[in-house]
Chains A and B, each alone.
Chain A
Amino acid sequence: MTRFTVNGTEHTADPVGPESLLTTLRDRLGLYGSKNACEQGECGSCSVILDGELVCSCLVMTADTDGSTIVTVEGLADGDTLHRVQQVMVDGSGVQCGFCTPGIVVAAAHLFDSRPDPSEEDIREALAGNICRCTGYGAIVRALEALSGDGQ
């Protein structure tokens, strides 16, 4: 049995062998926000924050997360109040098909939590592990740049 906290709620899971945290989140806990696009750690669509670290949940074994605290995309907004990263993605046309979006908002939230005034290049580097096939990235970078140094 593995016990961990996801978005403030304690969970217990009984993963099968090397089951990934992504599989556990999606298929056992019903948290479908984290996406399965490559399951190889290349695209970032499954990004979650594990004990303060940004990780690809597809590369983490659930059995290794005993006692951990996890934040997924479902844990960013406060009810109807979006996380500021989510809000600028909505307002700045940073969303198209949206399949990469959960991973990008998690990675961007982690970036702004750890570094309040990233430059454009810092944003690009921090998100270089998140592949988006729709937007060409421009709208996302512009949306996030507007948050840089806004003091929150």
Chain B
Amino acid sequence: MTTIARPRTERGIGASVTRSDAIPKVKGEFAYSSDLHAEEMLWGATVRSPHAHARIVSIDLAPALAIPGVHAALTIDDVPGRRAFGLEHADQPALADGVVRFWGEAVAVVAADDGETARRAAAAISVQYEPLAPLIDPEEAERIGSTFRVIEIVNGDPEAHGSVVVEGYYEVGQQDQAPLGTESGIAIPDDEGGVDLHISTQWLHVDHEQVVATLGLRPEQVRLHMAGIGGAFGSREDLSLQVHLCLLALHTGRPVKMVYDRAESFVGHVHRHPARMWYRHEADRHGRLRRVEARLLLDGGAYASTSSAVLANACYFAVGPYRCDAVEVHGAAARTNNPPAGAMRGFGAVQPCFGYESQMDRLAAALDIDPVDLRLMNALEPGDHLATTGQLIEGSLPTRRVIEALRAMPILDTASDDPRRLPGGTGLTTPAGSVRRGIGFAVSIKNLAFSESFDDYAEARAVLTPDGLEIHTSAAEVGQGLVSVVEQLARTVTGIEAVRMVWVDTSQIGSAGSTSASRQTQMTGGAVVAACEGVLAEALRRGGGDRLDDRGVWRGEEMVATLADLLADGPIEQLERFRHPPTERPDAQGRGNIHAGFAIAAHRAVVDVDPELGLVRVVRVDTAQDVGKAINPAAVIGQIEGGIMQGVGLAVMEEIILDQGVMKNASFTDYLLPTFLDAPDVEAILIEEPDHWGPFGAKGVGEPPTISSTPAVVAAIRAATGRDLTRVPVRPEDIVFPE
């Protein structure tokens, strides 16, 4: 294993440093994209389709334009450049182009003096639709070939079979990312036909590419600036209002602001793919996995978004972190008239984990083996090959250690008579004596950073100033704590304490890549380390010393140059572009070195269930997680607790309900999110085995907490109730009235 460098400063890597944006955030002074304003600013609003599928017969803008204070009403005909956008395939019209393909699709946009007038103007636009039959069943879609991607994986020994067989069918409902900050931003036209867009996004540069293309401008005419981000979880990977804001600003010649309300946010971003999954596991009589066959069907909704990559993840991780002699996976991402699905924390690894971990428990029962023993027996380790793609596991993958550490953790007894700790809570519906407790265990694997030969890189610039070190980046700080990670890495590498992360616009630096795939600690972190090493080397060269700190360069105990001295010959700055080890496209049978790295997590859930009312309280979810190296342990724990909460939400309450493609619960009243009273206690063990790339061996930590927490909770409910529970979220009727 690599030797980890010791922090040279107290606030370097390994310390739970307080994040530098915390004080403005607790004071209400931090500027989110919804808090921005400009002189002479107009407000935008969007007209959205009331149909899941319809032909647009006509659009009459005149009633809106007749309202005093309305300055613009625009349709697809006002889009000067490419008419469609998309993260991987440009298939989504910037505004509906003759046809609407999902409920809530943007049809027209308006700008007016204030938000209320803009909303009235949007309502005044008269759109005549000819409704068409919506395709809402993903199985029907696959049958007729309406898919974004189909993947077949065949790997291993075709003759391999096991004598113990379990089969199952599982479903995962559609989860919303529900970041607290809705989509919002402001576009400000310059006086030369260009525009500055201030936006909250997960990937500034890919937004820039798409906005430039739709506006038909030169890249340098459009500058995107990162504004404060109120959470993301995948919902800010695709464009929402970026193009609309720029169109309105360029058309009116005035700054335009838009802020989605919560209902609009639900249709304004993609969601986690709902899934239907058929599984067949075969093991020998000792429990060794011999064959896994799976059919995975994801509903991608109306537009491509990231469906092809999400499906790929679902298929590649269809077996989980286990060895297996033979694998056959068929996966499809269906194209329907449901709202588009795309990225959400876990990105395709979440859905199959519910399937394969449910299967592992069934297999353990059929074998009469302890379910944790069964997982240990089959655990994937370095030197093994991923059962699906055949990729050799390099770097660290402490699957056994993660499982064993969690199994060895004592379960803290949190039994309580406080009714707020019982299922049903303050409703006082559940007498303590009728509660049944269950415990469940699950394990997951997730890739780190982008895969399938994508040219994945991050740029960062380190700039030495007389006041300290600045790190320039476009990387999205969505709340995860990248700001601390970057500053800590820079301190450890350079020895300078006064480090400041500075977000610069798209004209001033190259892409940092997306804040997704758990990738920024490794990717932007990797670029920051390299840039800081360059600055350090130049500072030591100019100063003629062997150590740098906030005062200057030192040789032994003697200071030989102040920071100001060093900069007398010009600035010291270093721009670096970091890439992870290259990856490959899959071959015809779905095999290859497709991923850059992996991380493992295990979860153990304790639940209390009122079996009569079907109410569940998740008492605790303990975890062990493979983190490589914890750059900021408190921030890692924050990712773990927050990620587990989203996994618990998917297990027991979070689901978007669709009826004929129409969303029935697009609000925080009807789409339930876990509250302070729903939150389980969490104990976490961080397993630190440095990875083969990434700063100081660190791995991304954001997604793993969300993946196996869901099946662990469901396994615990099964243990408490004896029900099969093949669908998440588990509803009260699934417990009370099983089929």
Interface residues of A (CB under 8 A from B): 16, 26-27, 30-40, 42-43, 45, 72-74, 76-77, 82, 86, 89-91, 93, 95-102, 105, 121, 123-125, 127-141
Contact = CB atoms under 8 A, between A and B. Distances in A.
The 10 A-B residue pairs with the shortest CB-CB distance in the complex, in nearest-first order: A33-B28, A97-B479, A98-B25, A99-B230, A136-B641, A73-B28, A136-B645, A42-B668, A99-B180, A96-B479
B644 interface: yes
A130 B27 contact: no
A132 B479 CA distance: 12
B667 A38 contact: yes
B27 A74 contact: yes
B262 A102 contact: no
A51 to B, nearest CB: 20
A38 B669 CA distance: 9
Q: How big is the B interface, by class? A: 35 or more
A66 to B, nearest CB: 21
Contacts of B181: 35, 37, 97, 99
Contact of A138 (B231, B635, B668, B681): B681
Interface in B622-641: 634-635, 637-638, 640-641
Given A40-B667, A125-B420, A133-B178, 13 more contacts: A36-B259, A77-B27, A82-B27, A86-B23, A93-B638, A102-B26, A123-B676, A124-B679, A132-B180, A134-B180, A136-B645, A138-B641, A139-B634
A137 B645 contact: yes
Interface in B481-534: 481
Contacts of A89: 22, 26
A130 to B, nearest CB: 7
Contacts of B31: 32
B30 A98 contact: yes
B179 A99 contact: yes
5 contacts: A72-B28, A96-B231, A97-B179, A100-B180, A133-B178
B30 A96 contact: no
A42 B667 CA distance: 9
A48 to B, nearest CB: 11
A126 to B, nearest CB: 8
Nearest to B477: A97
Interface string B22-42: 110111111110110100000
B675 A131 contact: yes
Contacts of A38: 262, 667-668
Chief secondary structure at chain B's binding surface: loop
Contact of B22 (A34, A43, A90, A135): A90
A72 B29 CA distance: 12
Nearest to B29: A33
Contact of A137 (B480, B634, B641): B641
Contacts of B262: 37-40
Contacts of A39: 261-262
Contacts of A91: 18
A16 B119 CA distance: 14
A135 to B, nearest CB: 5
B259, B262, B426, B675, most chain A CB atoms within 10 A: B675
Interface in B679-695: 679, 681-682
A40 B671 CA distance: 12
Given A97-B181, A99-B181, A134 B28 contact: no
B18 A37 contact: no
A141 B681 CA distance: 10
B182 interface: yes
Contacts of B681: 138
A97 B645 CA distance: 15
Given A96-B479, A121-B418, A135 B261 contact: no
A141 to B, nearest CB: 7
Contacts of A35: 32, 34, 180-181, 230
Nearest to B262: A38
B382 to A, nearest CB: 31
A16, A43, A101, most chain B CB atoms within 10 A: A101
B28 A32 contact: yes
A82 B641 contact: no
B421 A98 contact: no
A133 B677 contact: no
Contacts of A93: 16, 18-19, 634-635, 637-638
B180 A90 contact: no
A89 to B, nearest CB: 5
Nearest to B635: A93
Contacts of B29: 33, 74
Given A33-B28, A37-B181, A125 B673 contact: no
A30 B233 CA distance: 29
Contact of B27 (A26, A86, A139): A86
B15 to A, nearest CB: 12
A124 B481 contact: no
A116 to B, nearest CB: 19
B652 interface: no
B673 A131 contact: yes
A133 B641 contact: no
Contacts of A40: 262, 667-669
B25 A101 contact: yes
A38 B31 CA distance: 18
Contacts of A134: 180, 231, 479, 638, 642
A30 B31 CA distance: 12
A87 to B, nearest CB: 8
A95 B23 CA distance: 9
B44 interface: no
A80 to B, nearest CB: 9
A16, A40, A76, most chain B CB atoms within 10 A: A40
Interface string B644-673: 111000000000000000000001110001
B116 to A, nearest CB: 6
A36 B34 contact: yes
